[in-house]
Amino acid sequence: MPEATTGPLTGVKVLDLSRFIAGPLCTQILADFGAEVVKIERPSGEDSRHHGPYHRDESIYMFLYHRNKYDASLDTRHPEALGILERLIEWADVVVENYRPGTIEKMGIGYERMKELNPDIVLVSVSGFGQTGPDSRRALFDAISQASSGLMSMTGEPDGKPTLSGTYIADYTTAYQAAIGTLLAILHRERTGEGQLVDVASFDTMFSALGIRLIAQLMLDLDMPRSGSRDLLTAPVNVYEAADGPIYIQAGTASLFPKLCAVMKRPDLTEDPRFATVQGRMEHQEFLEGEIGAWAATRTSDDIAHTLDEAGVPNAKVASVAEVAKSPQIAARDMIVESEHPELGTIRMPGNPIKMEKTPPTVRKAPPRVGEDNEHVYRAILGMSDEDLIRLHQAGAI
């Protein structure tokens, strides 16, 4: 049992019917701030439980998106599952699902049925292409979202192939949008008593994040090519090889370029009329990058970072995951948290990036194993008897 919480979402009850990343991360955000989240998964565990690497026979993938939740196992195809799901919908304030559109209707718990059971229910449907449109029934994973939305075409070197992001950026961003949508729907219900359907699509989310390239296309019919690690609008901005590894330097603005030149002891670059404007520096960025690269190559990344920090020029050594995980800044921001599980031991996880003065996020319960909280969900929440649980277990329903 998790410890009591006084978070801003204390008292909000969430039924989590989602899998993989976008839905589970959305509900974990809600749980971190006090919501009581019940996650339903089949007795054998959702697919992601079977992805390595493993810690004590448990996929560490599950440690990312499931803390602070109660886990109840349920075979949703079992004849008795519908009745159990309906009782949980009656209990819940919010239902989060990320099946392909049309699936929950086939299960008998579509939005119209949910409203019959619980008139002010908030249903958050997270999907690939949304609940409407010609592509709504298409399957989608993160990489498909990156490819179809235009994001992949923007990523990579100009003369190379389109490239995936190094993380599941579409799923993560969609989770954040789904959490925002959930909170807005809760606020609306508190003001009006009305529930509603929240429809969040990964494709929409990525399309909305295309930034300057999108608005350039919409307003100017301009197709901006891939730019690698360069900035689209200013120069010089790029990754440079120091004597001991890569460092990123952002010196493209009118105020930053002279500061970089001063650090390099190159007043000639500042005084050269070719580099006096952003447009000029963009036109001559290969030359400027060559000069900066030659300067950086003779110095360590720590030395470069120190001198640029003192001059007020934004920069960062290109850190590995191992390096950033040990960063004092990460420690100071509580961005690595720990939780003790009775069987899995100490679990280390990314912290919540939302820092709140009065109602901070908390870690009250380690990510659970499949069906770990069946007793709580089926007894305490639904009031089932010993006989009910034995029968359901023997029948393979839970």
In a domain, 155, yes or no: yes
In a domain, 382, yes or no: yes
Mean pLDDT of the chain, nearest integer: 96
Total number of domains in the chain: 2
Residue pLDDT, tens place only, 339-397 = 999 999 999 999 999 999 999 999 999 999 999 999 999 999 999 999 999 999 999 99
Query: Same structural domain for residues 282 and 387?
Result: no
CATH number (domain holding residue 87): 3.40.50.10540
Q: What's the confidence (pLDDT) of residue 6?
A: 75
Q: Choose the final residue of a domain: 271, 295, 323.
A: 323
Query: Same structural domain for residues 202 and 252?
Result: no
CATH number (domain holding residue 282): 3.30.1540.10
Query: Same structural domain for residues 119 and 57?
Result: yes
In a domain, 279, yes or no: yes
Query: Same structural domain for residues 366 and 316?
Result: no
Residue of 16, 32, 71, 171 marked active site: 171
Residue 5 has pLDDT above 70, yes or no: no
3-state helix/strand/coil string of the chain: CCCCCCCCCCCCEEEECCCCCHHHHHHHHHHHCCCEEEEEECCCCCHHHHCCCEECCEEHHHHCCCCCEEEEECCCCCCCHHHHHHHHHHHCCEEEECCCCCHHHHHCCCHHHHHHHCCCCEEEEEECCCCCCCCCCCCCCHHHHHHHHCHHHHCCCCCCCCCCCCCCHHHHHHHHHHHHHHHHHHHHHHHHCCCEEEEEEHHHHHHHCCCHHHHHHHHHCCCCCCCCCCCCCCCCEEEEEECCEEEEEECCCCCHHHHHHHHHCCHHHHHCHHHCCHHHHHHCHHHHHHHHHHHHCCCCHHHHHHHHHHHCCCEEECCCHHHHHCCHHHHHCCCEEEEEECCCEEEEEECCCCCCCCCCCCCCCCCCCCCCCHHHHHHHHCCCCHHHHHHHHHCCCC
Q: Choose the final residue of a domain: 271, 291, 323.
A: 323
Is 142 a catalytic site residue? no
Of all residues in the chain, what percent carry a pLDDT higher than 70?
Answer: 99
In a domain, 112, yes or no: yes
Query: Same structural domain for residues 380 and 300?
Result: no
Query: Same structural domain for residues 202 and 67?
Result: yes
Q: Choose the final residue of a domain: 289, 323, 357.
A: 323
Residue-range definition of the domain harbouring residue 362: 13-209+335-394
The mean pLDDT of 262-276, rounded to a whole number, is: 98
